[in-house]
């Protein structure tokens, strides 16, 4: 079976993404180029809203800004009724710029600075997700100084292993994230000392690329046991946040099983508690394609103009992204990743898609069953999350442009960086 991406279709031997011609996009905006489908984002949002409405009428979804923080995308996501999960002051300012609101923001992260806490408190965000007792004390002190009340949720480390990549597992005792279960009593006692802190509940985040509902059920069961601990201190739990991590189909073209999620969670939900979640990747990953042109063929190497600077996931995580030849309409099989892992790809015909950066680790895909000739436009699929957001200027390479497509129309939503942009903020001595 061949990979299929929502809204990527062939019409008269040419490929169109959300109605916009791939050939036109590559020519008009040049490559490498990030292209996002608004229809795909809207479909994913609709799926999640339907899922959570079936689980409980009391729910709230926060988009994880770190997945893709483009202002235009944030604006459209906000219009769907989502709040935002942030991890920095910069993300707070992006949400404010894009939406004009800050009251629907939850602030996560293990290393919030004094500046960030003050900024968020004064912006009257919805809540801080607190990850340690030391952080709790610091937030309490700062809120007292600025005389701003703040809602607090405790991010609990439930010690549930979601069995994902070691770099994206976050919910076990081996990880830096969250308050350990044995510290919850101490954290609750500490919180009651601060007049400007208002406890509203618990949060967790188990990791990324979770495909079934069971890990969330197990984590939720842990959080439910902590409700009594809060009640003993006169603290009411009004919100439980399940975090994010809903998986997408990089490797086998199958996303997070929403029906299994409903099956696992629906029987467990108390009527008086709002259930929240923080999806990011699930909303934007499939919506994005990184277009890149083949510059040269050199034995098994297809040397393209895209690089690890544009999408570092393959280099950083050894992550697999399916790659299609959109000039020739050649798509990988959905079992390609498994064949690569098992050494079943014919080495004589395999293609390594590599970039121009001066590093042996600069590649977008290795050992691919792919025809790729000079001038072909390739598409790195499922590139909407953690692609542009993690891009860099290594080798003094300008970052690519971003384009949003919708029903045949193409809107440029960020400019390609110029060479002057690379050193615009540097101070050159006289």
- Of 272, 358, 428, 430, the catalytic one is 358
Q: What phi and psi values does residue 191 have, to the nearest 5 degrees?
A: -60, -40
Per-residue pLDDT of the chain (430 residues; tens, 9 = 90+): 999 999 999 999 899 999 999 999 999 999 999 999 999 999 999 999 999 999 999 999 999 999 999 999 999 999 999 999 999 999 999 999 999 999 999 999 999 999 999 999 999 999 999 999 999 999 999 999 999 999 999 999 888 765 554 544 444 455 667 899 999 999 999 999 999 999 999 999 998 999 999 999 999 999 999 999 999 999 999 999 999 999 999 999 999 999 999 999 999 899 899 999 999 999 999 999 999 999 999 999 999 999 999 999 999 999 999 999 999 999 999 999 999 999 999 888 899 999 999 999 999 999 999 999 999 999 999 999 999 999 999 999 999 999 999 999 999 999 999 999 999 999 999 8
The Cα 324–Cα 332 span in angstroms is 6
The Cα 404–Cα 99 span in angstroms is 18
Q: Is 2.40.37.10 the CATH number for 8-30+287-422? A: yes
Contact 16, 8 (CB under 8 A): yes
Q: Which residue in the block uniquely carries the two structure tokens 């540097």?
A: 426
- Out of 3.40.630.30, 3.20.20.10, 3.40.50.720, 3.40.1370.10, select the CATH number for domain 38-280: 3.20.20.10
How does DSSP classify residue 330? B
* Domain spans of the chain, in order of start: 8-30+287-422, 38-280
Contact 380, 289 (CB under 8 A): yes
Q: What is the pTM of this model?
A: 0.95
Shortest CA distance to 67 belongs to which of 254, 242, 286, 249? 286
Residue 161 is predicted with a pLDDT of 64
Pairing of strands 33-37, 288-298: antiparallel
The Cα 205–Cα 366 span in angstroms is 31
Q: Catalytic: 358?
A: yes
Contact 56, 270 (CB under 8 A): no
Q: What phi and psi values does residue 282 have, to the nearest 5 degrees?
A: -60, -35
Residue 174 is predicted with a pLDDT of 53
Contact 289, 35 (CB under 8 A): yes
Q: Which residue in the block uniquely carries the two structure tokens 């405790």?
A: 154
Pairing of strands 288-298, 377-380: antiparallel
Instruction: Give buried/exposed letters for 16-43 (b at 16+ CB in 10 A, else e).
Output: bbbbbbbeebbeebebbbbbbbbbbbbb
CA dihedral 316, 322, 326, 330 (to 10 degrees): 140
**Strands (DSSP E) found in 194-350:** 197-203, 239-241, 274-277, 288-298, 301-304, 323-325
Residue 171 is predicted with a pLDDT of 41
């Amino acid at each position: 079976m061949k990979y299929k991406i929502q809204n990527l279709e062939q019409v008269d031997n040419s490929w169109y993404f959300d109605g916009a011609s791939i050939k036109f996009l590559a020519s008009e905006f040049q490559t490498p180029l990030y292209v996002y489908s608004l229809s795909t984002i809207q479909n994913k949002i609709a799926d999640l809203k339907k899922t959570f409405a079936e689980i409980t009428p009391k729910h709230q979804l926060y988009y994880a800004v770190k997945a893709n923080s483009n202002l235009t995308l944030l604006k459209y996501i906000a219009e769907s009724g989502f709040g935002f999960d942030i991890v920095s002051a910069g993300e707070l300012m992006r949400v404010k710029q894009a939406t004009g609101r800050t009251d629907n923001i939850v602030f996560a992260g293990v290393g919030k600075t004094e500046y960030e806490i003050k900024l968020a408190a004064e912006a009257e965000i919805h809540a801080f997700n607190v990850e340690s007792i030391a952080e709790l004390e610091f937030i309490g002190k700062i809120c007292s100084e600025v005389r701003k009340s703040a809602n607090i949720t405790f991010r609990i480390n439930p010690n549930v292993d979601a069995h994902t990549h070691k770099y994206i597992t976050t919910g076990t005792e081996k990880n830096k994230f969250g308050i350990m279960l044995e510290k919850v009593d101490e954290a609750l006692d500490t919180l009651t000392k601060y007049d400007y802190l208002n406890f509203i509940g618990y949060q967790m985040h188990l990791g990324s690329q979770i495909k079934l509902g069971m890990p969330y059920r197990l984590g939720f069961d842990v959080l439910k046991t902590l409700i009594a601990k809060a009640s003993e201190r006169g603290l009411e739990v009004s919100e439980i946040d399940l975090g994010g991590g809903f998986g997408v189909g990089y490797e086998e073209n199958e996303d997070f099983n929403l029906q299994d999620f409903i099956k696992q969670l629906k029987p467990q939900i108390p009527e008086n508690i709002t259930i929240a979640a923080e999806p990011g990747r699930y909303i934007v990953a499939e919506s994005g394609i990184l277009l890149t042109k083949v510059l040269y063929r050199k034995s098994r190497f297809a040397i393209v103009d895209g690089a690890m600077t544009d999408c570092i996931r393959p280099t950083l995580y050894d992550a697999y992204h399916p790659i299609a030849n959109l000039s020739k309409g050649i798509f990988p099989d959905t079992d390609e990743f498994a064949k690569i892992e098992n050494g079943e790809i014919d080495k004589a015909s395999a293609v390594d898609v590599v970039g121009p950066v001066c590093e042996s680790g600069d590649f977008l895909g290795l050992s691919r069953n792919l025809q790729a000739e000079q001038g072909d436009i390739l598409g790195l699929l499922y590139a909407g999350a953690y692609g542009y957001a993690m891009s860099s200027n290594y080798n003094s390479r300008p970052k690519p442009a971003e384009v949003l497509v919708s029903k045949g129309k193409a809107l440029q939503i960020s400019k390609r960086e110029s060479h002057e942009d690379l050193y615009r903020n540097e101070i050159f001595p006289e």
